[in-house]
Amino acid sequence: GKTMLLRNIGRTATDQRHRTAWDVVTIDFGTRGLDALRTFPNTVLAANADDLESVTRALRYLQGEVARRRSLLVEHACADYEQLTTREANLPRLLVLIDDFQNFGGIFGGSVYGSQVPEIELTTLITTLSDASSCGVHFVIGADRRSSIRSTMHSAISSRVVLRQGDESGYFDFGINIARGTMPRLPAGRGFWFDDKRVQFISDANMQSSGDTSPAELSSRSVAPKLPELLNCDVKSSFPRVVVGIGDVTHENHYHDLAKQPLLVLGPRGSGRTIALQWLASQTKPSQVKQVRSTTDVADLKKDDLAIIDDADVFA
């Protein structure tokens, strides 16, 4: 009943009575159990494990949003979110729902991304989580066992719901006192609240909004929309300052000055590496572009030429 509990919390935040007070972000590392919230009007961003781009974009959005709100706290000399809303009227609370957190590392793992990437992303999320509550950003995280959650995250989230565990040790890990051989046979959705209170948390509730208009008929606000397949970058700078791409969250151009630093484009075959080199070359005059295939071509380079070396790992 873990995913159902997260869905019901999200449904409450998207209810007609709360639409102007809450925005919702969902990150699903499981089997798209939170997709039911995707079409609700104040779901501003939804990410799924099978789309790494969307997960990365969601984490960057949360990191930027918490930083923005903390800056507003400093700017208005406010101690917390409640004080800030007296200065910034249009600043809804942000509810972040993360399901199946135990799969977090696996999503960012693999030889392509490098073994350090999961740790870097996790550190970023923990830092965001620790700074979030004071500025109106609130997390509900679902995981299958205690060991899936870092100790630093446990300290940042004091409230917890412990649903049905597979064995007695699962309850012992959470400090729930159960006599040996008396493991409770809990139905789905029933568990422990603040260690000792046994509560039926959720049932299979209708996911429709309580208002007269269904969520599918309402327009969804998009804070960080998915990038289109084809991008048209507005190249306003002159070579050797080139546009290397568009930011996931802001969609702003990112520039690189080739006169100050050479550029290394990394990626396996089929990753778009050659297309990236072609895009960089398209921002200068064709006569300035020199494709280097061997050391002999290097000797022919002149001042202000753009040297393009593809497949540098087999450069001869």
Q: Average pLDDT in the 80-98 region?
A: 90
- The pLDDT value recorded for residue 19 is 62
* Radius of gyration for the chain, computed over Cα atoms and rounded to the nearest angstrom: 25
What whole-number distance in Å separates Cα of residue 36 and Cα of residue 99?
13
**How many other CB atoms are found less than 10 A from the CB of residue 129?**
22
Contact 87, 76 (CB under 8 A): yes
Q: Higher model confidence: residue 277 or residue 19?
A: 277
- The pLDDT value recorded for residue 296 is 79
At 222-270, the pLDDT tens digits run 345 555 666 666 666 677 888 888 876 667 788 888 888 889 998 887 8
| Residue 19 CA: distances (Å) to CA of 92, 103, 132, 208 | 9, 30, 20, 14
Residue % of the chain over a pLDDT of 70: 82
Outline where DSSP puts E strands in 175-259.
Answer: 190-193, 197-200, 241-246, 253-257
- The pLDDT value recorded for residue 61 is 92
Among 56-60, 167-171, 312-316, which is the least confidently predicted range? 312-316
- The pLDDT value recorded for residue 226 is 59
Q: 144 pLDDT band (50/70/90 cuts)?
A: confident
Q: 316 pLDDT band (50/70/90 cuts)?
A: low
At 32-57, the pLDDT tens digits run 889 889 888 888 899 998 888 888 88
Name the residue among 136, 140, 158, 192 with its Cα closest to residue 6: 140
- The pLDDT value recorded for residue 238 is 77
Mean pLDDT across the chain: 80
Q: 315 pLDDT band (50/70/90 cuts)?
A: low
- The pLDDT value recorded for residue 6 is 92
Q: Average pLDDT in the 117-134 region?
A: 86
Q: 179 pLDDT band (50/70/90 cuts)?
A: low
